[in-house]
Amino acid sequence: MKSEIHPEYYTEATVTCSCGSTFITGATQPELRVEICSSCHPFFTGEQRIVDTEGRVERLRRRYNLQ
Give the pLDDT score at 2: 81
Whole-angstrom distance, CA of residue 2 vs CA of residue 4: 7
Structural domain boundaries, residue 55: 10-64
Any domain includes 4: no
Its pTM surpasses 0.95: no
Any domain includes 55: yes
Any domain includes 2: no
Any domain includes 1: no
Below-50 pLDDT ranges, the chain: none
Give the pLDDT score at 57: 75
Whole-angstrom distance, CA of residue 12 vs CA of residue 35: 20
Any domain includes 53: yes
Give the pLDDT score at 52: 59
The answer to whether the Cα torsion of 47, 24, 22, 31 is positive or negative is negative
Task: Using the CB atoms, write b or e for 5-26: b if 16+ within 10 Å.
Answer: eeeeebeebebebeeeeeeeee
Any domain includes 17: yes
Any domain includes 19: yes
Q: How many domains does the chain have?
A: 1
Give the pLDDT score at 28: 95
Q: Domain holding 23: CATH number? A: 4.10.80.400
Q: Which of 62, 18, 7, 67 is nearest to 40 (CA)?
A: 18
